[in-house]
Amino acid sequence: MSNCNWGIMATGKIAETFAKAINYTDGAKLYAAASRTEEKAKAFGEKYKAEKYYGSYRQLAEDENVDVIYIASPMAQHYENAKMCLLAGKNVLCEKTITLNSAQLDELIAIAKEKDLFFMEAMWMKMLPAFRKAKEWVSSGKIGEVRAVKADLTSMCRYDENDRLFRKDLGGGALLDIGVYPITFACEFLGYQPKEIISNCVIGKSDVDFDASMLLRYENGYADLCAAFNMDNCNPAYIIGTKGSIRFPEWFFCTGRVLLYDDDGNIVEESNDPHPCNGYEFEVAHVMSCLEKGLKESDLNPLWHTKATMKIMEKCRADWGFSYNGE
């Protein structure tokens, strides 16, 4: 879609990154930004050259010139923010994890369908060239049948009781904040319906999971996954097949580098596509292309994928006896 008017709801860290990607992408315009306060909205709007800024989220949702709203609030706010946007007739790209649970997600999907609107979780990994390359290698049979996936997403985050990562009331915790990536990664290569889910976690002092480890069992293979706020790693990922393997050497989807190995362990192909902006430009362009085609769901990240990963996370949380406020 050319000349797409984007609205950004919330002005935190990822909103800044996304604003840069919008400003980088041809045909995309950062039309309006909204914050809970006028002051922050103005500062953000001026910094990223938005045409308008609003000191309330509702004003953005009700602006008739907005084509699509990117929601960048904390997890626990997504449900009410997305609901407001959809009810106001706006297409929505909502940050991950899209909601806290399936009940909230199902309600939003029903509204989006009833209103005939585009709705997608911002799983930017799926639009990145390195990830698309791995998908292409697997679907063209270069590694044979996929037997195993290993993916870690961990970092050492300094404890701060005010940071959303550690706040249960804002939907904090490693599983929902970053675990959604390795889970989605595994599902893309082994399937969205594991036969068995075995998981464990460490609940930290703010009563959210500081680390989560998951084993997904499939008929012919498994995924070994980890997400953590309390350890550093280079975050590699592997897809192991019957005829070869694929390795993301670091930050498994955030960088542009991915390697294809044969079954003797030799590198047979390497793809290295540094991101021209910050990586989010691929997601911006993808959403606009969906809108241009009149799609109501992304063809790379359809809502049934989002529902399936939510179910996996719910199963983990149920096994841990972990629930968010109000659940």
Ligand X SMILES: NC(=O)c1ccc[n+]([C@@H]2O[C@H](COP(=O)([O-])OP(=O)(O)OC[C@H]3O[C@@H](n4cnc5c(N)ncnc54)[C@H](OP(=O)(O)O)[C@@H]3O)[C@@H](O)[C@H]2O)c1
Q: Which residues form the interface with ligand X (CB under 6 A)?
A: 10-15, 35-36, 40, 72-75, 77, 95-96, 122, 124, 164, 170, 177
Task: Work out whether the CA dihedral 208, 213, 216, 217 comes out positive or negative.
Answer: negative
Residue 271: φ, ψ to 5° = -120, 130
Minimum distance from residue 44 beta carbon to ligand X (Å): 7
For 245, residues 6+ apart whose C-beta sits below 8 A from its C-beta are 143, 238, 239, 260, 261
**Of 70 and 137, CB closest to ligand X:** 70
**DSSP code per residue over 195-263:** SEEEEEEEE-TTSSEEEEEEEEEETTEEEEEEEESB------EEEEESSEEEEE-STTTTSSEEEEEET
Minimum distance from residue 56 beta carbon to ligand X (Å): 9
Residue 199: φ, ψ to 5° = -145, 165
Minimum distance from residue 226 beta carbon to ligand X (Å): 17
**Of 30 and 170, CB closest to ligand X:** 170
Minimum distance from residue 324 beta carbon to ligand X (Å): 13
Minimum distance from residue 41 beta carbon to ligand X (Å): 7
Side chain identity at 209, as an amino acid letter?
A: D
Residue of this chain nearest to ligand X (CB atom): 12
**Of 19 and 117, CB closest to ligand X:** 19
Q: Within 10 Å of residue 66's Cβ, how many Cβ atoms?
A: 24
**Of 167 and 247, CB closest to ligand X:** 167
**Of 79 and 118, CB closest to ligand X:** 79
